[in-house]
Amino acid sequence: MTVPQNLELMSLLKKYDDITAVNKINLKIQSGTYCCLLGPSGCGKTSTLRMIAGHEEITDGDILLGNTIINELTPAKRGTSMMFQNYALFPHLNCIDNVAFALKIKNINKKERYKEANEILAMVQMQNFVDRFPSQLSGGQQQRIALARSLITKPSILLLDEPLSALDPFLRIQMRTELKNLQKKLGITFIHVTHSQEEALALADLVVVMNKGTIEQSDTPYNVFNKPKNEFIANFVGSHNVINDGGKKYAVRMDQIKINILKTQNKKLMKIKDIEFQGEKVKICCSDKNNIDIFVLVEDELFFKNKFEIGQDINLDWKKSISHILEK
C-alpha cells in the first residue's frame, strides 16, 4: 500500500458560475481515519470529494496530502482512488478484467495483474465470480467488484460516493459492516459521502456535517449525536427536539422526554397529534396550541401500557441537566 499520509483541506472553494458549492472549508483528516461527509443534497459534500479525487477543478484553496499540495496532480498521481455511486463497471469485461484494468493501463503483465486482482477479489469475497460479467451480478456483488477495482491501485485514500445508496436495506447494513472491517484491516483512510445519518454514525471515526457549502461540525459520531453544535445539526442528525427555554435553545433527545396523560382539561398543555410505530419504539408527535411539534420516543411496552392515542391531552417533562445547550 501507499505510505499513509494525512489529508488537509485549506480554504477550499468551489464555484459553478455564480453558485458557491463549497465555501472555503478547512478540514484535517488523520491517516487511517474512516471519515463520513454527511449532509443534505446540495450541501457540497460530493463536490468536496470530487476535488480531493481530482475529478473537479478547484476554484481556490489547497489540498495537501502529507506535505504535498496535490491541486494540479492528475487523479492517477494523487495516491487516491474513487469508487463511484453507479460503480461504473465496464460491461464488456468480466470481473477479473474489470478489477485488473488499472494495472493493464500501467503495462503490468497479465500474470502479475491477475495475481493481484485475485488477491483483492478474495479480500471482498468475490474470488468465485472472476469470469462473470457485471450484468450477471447482483447489486451487492457489483459493489464488491467496484470496491476491488478501487483498491487494486493501493491508494492511501479511498473515496466513496454514496456507495450504499443503491442497495436494499438488509444488504446496506451487511455491506456497512464489511466496509468498516475492510477499512480497519487495510488501515487506509476512507472518505465516504452519505446523506444517511444512521450510516455515518455507524461507520465513521470522524463525522463532518456539511450545510450550504460549509462545515457545521467535525467531530466523533458520539459528539455529533449527543452534543450537536447548533439547531441545524440537532434537527438533521435526528432523534432530537430543539426547545426554547429562558432565552436558550436546548437539544433534547426524543427518548429523554417523559410523556404524561392529563386527567383534567384545565391543565392541558399539549395534544397527541400523530403516532408512528417503529418496532421496539413508538414515536409520538405532540403539538401545543401554537402548532409547535415535540417528538417523544417511548418503549413499545410503555406505549401499550398507557394506551396513548391521537387527540389525547398530555404534558411533557424534560431535564435541563441531561440536555445539551446549542451554541447558536
When pLDDT is averaged across residues 30-47 and rounded to a whole number, the result is 96
Amino acid occupying residue 165: S
pLDDT at 247 over 90: no
When pLDDT is averaged across residues 251-275 and rounded to a whole number, the result is 80
Higher pLDDT, 197 or 264: 197
On whether the CB atoms of residues 162 and 84 are closer than 8 A, the answer is no
At 266 the pLDDT is: 47
pLDDT at 162 over 70: yes
What the block records as the C-alpha cell of 251 is: 437539544
At 1 the pLDDT is: 46
Alpha helix (H) ranges present in 3-57?
45-53
When pLDDT is averaged across residues 252-275 and rounded to a whole number, the result is 79
Structure letter (DSSP) for residue 249: E
Q: How high does pLDDT run on average in the chain?
A: 91
On whether the CB atoms of residues 296 and 256 are closer than 8 A, the answer is no
pTM check: above 0.75: yes
Percent of the chain with pLDDT over 90: 73
| 3-class SS of residue 59 | coil
Burial class (CB in 10 A: 0-12, 13-18, 19+), 279: exposed
pLDDT confidence tier of residue 267, bands split at 50, 70 and 90 = low
Q: Rounded to an integer, what distance in angstroms lies between the CA atom of residue 281 and that of residue 299?
A: 5
Strand partners, 282: 277, 298
When pLDDT is averaged across residues 168-192 and rounded to a whole number, the result is 92
pLDDT at 129 over 90: yes
Q: Which fold has domain 7-231?
A: Rossmann fold (3.40.50)
What the block records as the C-alpha cell of 210 is: 456539511
Q: Rounded to an integer, what distance in angstroms lies between the CA atom of residue 174 and that of residue 233?
A: 27
On whether the CB atoms of residues 32 and 191 are closer than 8 A, the answer is no
Domain ranges (residues) in the chain: 7-231, 242-325
CATH, domain range 242-325: 2.40.50.140
Same fold, 7-231 and 242-325: no
Give the model confidence (pLDDT) of 83-119 as tens digits: 987 788 999 999 999 999 999 999 999 999 999 999 9
pLDDT confidence tier of residue 239, bands split at 50, 70 and 90 = confident
Exposure string (b/e) for 312-326, b if CB count within 10 Å is 16 or more?
bbbebebeeeebbeb
At 2 the pLDDT is: 58
Q: Rounded to an integer, what distance in angstroms lies between the CA atom of residue 48 and that of residue 250?
A: 31
At 161 the pLDDT is: 93
